[in-house]
Amino acid sequence: MLKYIKNYASSIKDIDIYPIFSLTIFVLFFIAVIYFVKKMDKTSVEEIKQLPLDLDIDSSASVNTVKQA
């Protein structure tokens, strides 16, 4: 199967640009995510960090959508 794919891919003109393009998009995406995380407000980070530990049902009504039997 891989031999067929390699043979088919080698017949495509300028196929060598796709891995470079994919790697560029991958790296730029993670640079953007790191930049966004670094620029976040520290108070919102603390609030988000406490969300899994928050047991108050009234403050997170939209999150608690599971009906209890």
Instruction: Report yes or no on 32 lying in a domain.
Output: yes
Supply angle C-alpha 38, 54, 52, rounded to 5: 55
pLDDT tens, position by position, 16-29: 888 899 999 999 99
pLDDT number for residue 45: 86
Instruction: Report yes or no on 53 lying in a domain.
Output: no
pLDDT tens, position by position, 35-68: 999 999 998 888 888 888 777 665 555 555 555 5
Instruction: Report yes or no on 68 lying in a domain.
Output: no
Q: How many domains does the chain have?
A: 1
Instruction: Report yes or no on 50 lying in a domain.
Output: no
Instruction: Report yes or no on 67 lying in a domain.
Output: no
Give the range of the structural domain holding residue 25, as residue numbers without chain letter. Answer: 1-43
Q: Which residue has the higher pLDDT, 3 or 22?
A: 22
| CA atoms 3, 21, 40, 64: torsion sign | negative
Instruction: With CA atoms as reference, report the closest residue to 67 among 56, 57, 55.
Output: 57
